[in-house]
Homo-oligomer: A and B are copies of this chain.
Amino acid sequence: MPAHSSPKASHSHAPHRSTPTVQCQACTLRCGPSFRQLSRRELRLVSGMKRRDITLAAGADVFAQGAASSFIYTLYEGWAVRVRTLPGGERQILDFVLPGDLIGLAGYLLGSSPYSVQALTPLRLCVLDGTRLPALFRTEPDLAMALMVARTREQQRGDTRLTLLGRLGASERIGYLLLELRERLRSRGLFEGQSCAFPVQRRLLADTVGLSKAHLMRALRQLREQGLANLSDSVLTIPDARKLARFSGYFLAPSKEQHPIL
């Protein structure tokens, strides 16, 4: 039951705004093989939902817990986290948000966001008008289904995280989490070979796997000494994913997931 007094460097979001510089049609993200291709008509509608793109500094909030918003966002570049803060100040990272992910749907659908989204690195994101979503559902049922599938996958990830915290030991949790991130990055073409940039501070990682910072260090050391995973200087190295998977009980699925985007 750890606790900490977070410095809470949350800028309220009214940052570098701009009229759309990246047109949806030219979005390099969506052209990648790992994303669902939109029909011309879908693209036009989604394009019409787009209000602007914004850039955020590392550490900034995309939106805050409890906020109501009619905007939803697509992360274009950078890493972020969904985080929930308890009344007592404790913090739990719910999930990592990677390029191509949609965020803020819950805030829009539920009227108030049950979590914050915070930037881990500088971010570029598209701001979309959520109020157009019902119209989108009306005319583009396939896209709606795709969104539903993406949501389901996200939920499944949450279920996995829950299982991790409930039933696995410290090192296994971390190993599992690292592998999962690796897979998500790979499926977007953001992880090649054995290493990748990993802009996640220890404290944050601890708040993800439900450990104290000190104990997280011990577990990381164990992983390092066993040659399973190495995390230093914000670079993650996994020499042998299969070995790590065996250690942490991960199911290494090929995962031909197609991200629906927007």
Contact = CB atoms under 8 A, between A and B. Distances in A.
A109 interface: yes
Contacts of A2: 167
A105 B155 CA distance: 12
A57 B145 CA distance: 33
B1 A169 contact: yes
A152 B86 CA distance: 20
Count of identical protomers in the assembly: 2
Interface in A118-149: 133-134, 137-138, 141-142, 144-145, 147-149
Interface residues of A, number: 52
Given A88-B249, A94-B162, A109-B148, A114 B156 contact: yes
Given A137-B145, A148-B109, A162 B153 contact: no
A82 to B, nearest CB: 8
Given A148-B147, A151-B155, A167 B90 contact: yes
Contacts of A152: 105-106, 109-110, 151
